Structure 1
Amino acid sequence: MPREHGYTVTVTWTGDRGTGTSGYRDFDREHDVEAEGRPVVRGSADPAFRGDPTRWNPEQMLLASLSQCHMLWYLHLCADAGVVVTGYVDDARGTMVESPSGGRYTGVTLAPRVTVRDDGMVDRALSLHRDAHAQCFIANSVAFPVEHEPTVVVSEPAS
C-alpha cells in the first residue's frame, strides 16, 4: 500500500509599499517561505519580472529541488551498491520559455560531478544516475524532461 506524506509551508508576501497592488509597478515581489523549525527562505520574483536579484525565485527553487532530490537518491543508491562517493557537486541548469499565455519550464539538465574512492566504482557510479532519476519524487512530478550529464572522477590517493 502506498504511503502518503504531507508537507506544509507558509508563504507571506512582504512587498507592500503602503498602497498594495494599486498598480503593477507599485508593489515589490518579496516574500518569505517558512516551515516549522526551519530557517526562512527569502524569496522574490525573477529579476526579469521585477524581482529582487538577491533573493531566491521560484524558478531557481524548482531547479534546486530537482538537483537535491536526484543527489539524495543517488547517494542512497551508491551506499546500497557499495560505491563510495567522496564528493558531489551539481551545476544544474534549466530553461523556461515565456508565451502570451504564461511560461513553463521546457527542460532541466543536471550535471553532477561525482568523486568516488577508486577506479572500480566509476562504471557503476555512472549507471546509478539512471536509477536515481527513476526514484526521484520531484523528477517524477514535473511535466518536462530532466536530462543528466554526469561526470565521475576518482579521488586522489592520500599522500
Structure 2
Amino acid sequence: MGEHRYELTVEWTGDEGTGTGSYRGYRRTHEVHAPGRPTLPGSSDPAFRGEADRWNPEQLLLASLSQCHMLWYLHLCSVNGVVVTGYTDTPQATMVEDETGGHFTEAVLRPHITVADAGMTERALALHADANKACFIAASVNFPVRHEPVIVTPGQG
C-alpha cells in the first residue's frame, strides 16, 4: 500500500558544562525540530529528573495514540454518515517501572463526542472499534488501548 517515512531532529540541550559526567550533573531537556513546524520542548518526566514544563516521551506517546484515534474516528464518521460537531479526549495511560526499566500496561482513551442527531449515537459508538483497528499508532504498541467514549447531542453535557 505504500511506505511513509518520517524524519525529525531531537537535540539535547541539557549540557551544564560537564556533559554526562555525573547522573545529577546534566539536564534532560531537549528540543524536537521538524521543517516548517514549531519547536517542541521536551524533557524526561519529573519523576526521572525532568522538567515539569516540558513535554515528556510518555505524554507524547499518549498524545499520539489519542490523535491517531481521533483522526481515524473523524474520517470513519464522515464516510459513514455520522456528523461529529465536537470531540475532546482526556486519555490516561499507566506505566510501571520494573528491574528492566519500565513499560506501559494500558492506555484508556476517553473521548467526549457531540453528534448532530441522537439517531447517530449507536453508529458513533460502534465506529470506535473500527478507528482502533485503523490507527497506525495503536497497531504499533504492545499494550492494550481501551476506549470509554461518551456520545452526546447538542444541548446535552
Q: Secondary structure at the match of 1:79?
A: helix
Show the counterpart of 2:14.
15
Separation in 2, partners of 1:3, 1:45: 34
Query: 1:39-83 deviations in whole A, cap 9, x for unaligned?
Result: 110000000000000000000000000000000000000000110
- Which aligned segments of 4 or more residues in structure 1 are displaced greater than 2 angstroms? none
Show the counterpart of 1:75.
74
Show the counterpart of 1:60.
59
Q: Normalization by structure 1: what TM-score?
A: 0.97
- RMSD of equivalent CA atoms: 0.9
Separation in 1, partners of 2:8, 2:142: 22
Query: Which amino acid letter does the alignment assign opposite residue 141 of structure 1?
Result: S
Separation in 1, partners of 2:2, 2:112: 32
Separation in 2, partners of 1:36, 1:85: 32
Q: Normalization by structure 2: what TM-score?
A: 0.98
Separation in 2, partners of 1:155, 1:72: 21
Separation in 2, partners of 1:128, 1:117: 16
Q: Secondary structure at the match of 2:58?
A: helix
Query: Which amino acid letter does the alignment assign opposite residue 99 of structure 2?
Result: P
Separation in 2, partners of 1:94, 1:35: 26
Show the counterpart of 2:143.
144
5+ residue gaps, structure 1: none
Q: Map residues 30-69 of structure 1 onto 2, 5 A cutoff.
A: 30-69=29-68
Separation in 2, partners of 1:120, 1:58: 40
5+ residue gaps, structure 2: none
Show the counterpart of 2:27.
28
Separation in 2, partners of 1:128, 1:42: 34
Show the counterpart of 1:90.
89
Percent identity (aligned):
61
Q: Secondary structure at the match of 1:75?
A: helix
Query: Which amino acid letter does the alignment assign opposite residue 138 of structure 2?
Result: A
Query: 1:88-121 deviations in whole A, cap 9, x for unaligned?
Result: 0000000000011111111000000000001110
Query: Which amino acid letter does the alignment assign opposite residue 128 of structure 1?
Result: L
